Structure 1
Amino acid sequence: MRILFAAFILAGFAMTASATEEPDFETVASEGPIEVRQYEPIIVAETEVTGTMREASGSGFRVLADYIFGNNTARSEIAMTAPVTRTRSSKIDMTAPVTRSMSYNGNWTVSFTMPSKWTMETLPVPNNPAVTIREVPGELLATIRFSGAGQMEVHRQKQAELEDWIAEHGYEITGPARYAGYDAPWKPSPLRRNEVLIPVEQTGPAR
């Protein structure tokens, strides 16, 4: 089943992409708005929600924002000292982009990328069982960048454009397309950053 990643607005938080950590990558090829990037491994917090794409955006974001802004418990206690202390919650910074995907059962999985300073061992455990923490291996992604309000039909057009480029430049698609957005909703549409990202592997000489 095709997985769709979409732009997710960072509603309620006064920040911009320039002030927000993004996953590390190395650009290995580029042509205009298209890049092929080698991404480092990341850790994501994600939750599965139901409803339309718009409904899933709101409900999924609220669940994950609740986790990173305090509804979590530290993985271990500090004991055998005076006094004995327990860390009950911890705030986790936002990152960009925030993504969502359609699950195989037709629901939506909304994901936040965790800041790089955290590890699977140090991230606080979610109090809400609906939130899961998962490590994503490094991967090669072909991407296309564009501006606008992030409407689904535009993402699909850009996806088709990117797929054509991939086929013509010695790469093979290895996974479903992802849609990503980086900016708050109050930023003017022409200045918003959107991307389609597709996992690939190089099968021939780049052209």
Structure 2
Amino acid sequence: MNHLLMIVLAALGLSVLGGCAAVRGGYESAPYRVVRVVDGLELRDYPQLELAETRMGDGANGGFGRLFRYITGNNAQERHIPMTTPVLMQGGRMGFVMPSASAAASLPKPSDPSVSLASIPGGRFAVLRFSGGRSRDNEAAAERRLRERMAAAGLQPESEPIFGYFDPPWTPSFLRRNEVMIRIAASKS
């Protein structure tokens, strides 16, 4: 009986883990090219990224809700736009990366005035992955580790950190893929 229970629990655990990975795998992610890996951080080249963004003043869920409504038709063309990953957060703002096939000029105007369209210019970024839930402490620790590794590699930051979150909220925190990224000068990497 105990052997059967262990098999059932193991199968259930694997199903949960597989389901979390499948949800993440179902979305387009912002494109990038890894230039090299230095002490656990990746140096990546990103093209210009188009975003729909809003303030997070009502908490992360308020911002997420406004952006979700934009991509599900609350826009001038009532057009649905596919969800992508990661959800980006920087300086009190949250952004959804628009699908790579979406040119800035083709994106519909948001119906909600608190949602705007913006771009992150392409360039080279130092990026560090981390897990766990979204919290100030977790973000601060990840940023500190990234800055320490950048300093050790002689990389100079050129921006404030951008945090990227890839997983839905029901994903167990130890399985979540999160990233912190800071722009660096391409000539220094």
Common fold: TM-score over 0.5:
yes
Determine the C-alpha separation between the residues in 1 that align with 2:163 and 2:127.
Answer: 10
| Aligned sequence identity (%) | 31
Amino acid at match of 2:70: Y
CA deviation after TM superposition for structure 1 residue 203, in Å: 5.4
Question: How does the TM-score come out when normalised to structure 2?
Answer: 0.81
Larger relative CO (CA 8 A, sep 6+): 1 or 2? 1
Task: After the TM superposition, list the runs of 4 or more consecutive aligned residues in structure 1 that deviate by more than 4 angstroms.
Answer: none
- Aligned pairs for 1:70-149 within 5 A: 70-74=73-77, 89-102=78-91, 108-149=92-133
Pair 1:145–1:49, CA change in 2 (3 A): closer
Identify the residue that residue 5 of structure 1 maps to in structure 2: none
RMSD: 1.8
Identify the residue that residue 24 of structure 1 maps to in structure 2: 31
Stretch deviating more after TM superposition (64-73 or 25-34): 25-34
SS of equivalent residue, structure 1 residue 184: coil
Identify the residue that residue 54 of structure 2 maps to in structure 1: 47
How many residues of Structure 1 are paired with residues of Structure 2 in the alignment?
A: 168
Please identify which structure carries the higher helix content. 2
SS of equivalent residue, structure 1 residue 72: coil
Identify the residue that residue 41 of structure 2 maps to in structure 1: 34
Contact 1:172–1:202 (8 Å) recurs in 2: no
Determine the C-alpha separation between the residues in 1 that align with 2:186 and 2:76.
Answer: 42
- 1:11-54 CA-to-partner distances (Å, cap 9, x unmatched) read xxxx722111111111111145410101111100011242xxxx
Stretch deviating more after TM superposition (134-143 or 35-44): 134-143
Gaps of 5+ in 2: 1-21
Question: How does the TM-score come out when normalised to structure 1?
Answer: 0.75
Determine the C-alpha separation between the residues in 2 that align with 1:146 and 1:95.
Answer: 19
Identify the residue that residue 168 of structure 2 maps to in structure 1: 184
